[in-house]
Amino acid sequence: MKISESADTALHLTEPLAFRRARLAGEFRPSNVRNFRISLKQWKMFHAVVDFDGFTGAASHLHISQSAISYTLAKLQEQLGVSLLKIEGRKAQITEEGKILLDRSRELVRNAVELEALAENLRNGWGPEIRIVTDPSFPPQLLMKTLRKLSPFSQNVRLSVEEASLSEARKALHERAADLAVSTEVPMGFMGSELIEVEHIAVAHPDHSLFSLNREITTDDLEKQVQIVISGGDQAGEQSNYRLSRYSRFWRVSGIDTAIDALRHGLGYAWLPRCRVQKWLDEDQIAILPLDKGSAYKSTLYLVLGHGVAPKSGAKRFADELSNLAASESSQ
C-alpha distances (whole Å) from 45 to each of 3, 57, 80 are: 39, 11, 15
Residue 303's H or E segment, with its range, is strand 296-305
Specify whether domain 129-194+302-330 bears CATH 3.40.190.10: yes
Fold of 35-123: Arc Repressor Mutant, subunit A (1.10.10)
197-299 and 129-194+302-330 share a CATH fold: yes
In sequence order, what are the beta bridge partners of 217? 291
* Predicted pLDDT at 158: 77
Q: What is the CATH number of domain 197-299?
A: 3.40.190.290
* Predicted pLDDT at 150: 78
Q: What is the pLDDT along the chain (332 residues), one digit of tens a residue?
A: 333 333 333 333 344 444 455 455 555 455 555 566 788 888 898 898 888 888 888 888 889 998 898 898 889 888 888 889 888 877 888 889 989 998 888 888 888 777 776 666 556 555 567 889 999 999 989 988 988 887 766 566 678 889 988 999 999 999 999 999 999 999 999 999 999 999 999 999 999 999 999 999 998 899 889 999 887 655 444 555 555 555 568 888 888 999 999 999 999 999 999 999 999 999 999 999 999 989 999 999 999 999 888 787 788 888 999 999 999 887 76
**Measured distance CA(14)–CA(313) in Å, rounded:** 42
pTM above 0.85, yes or no: no
* Predicted pLDDT at 32: 53
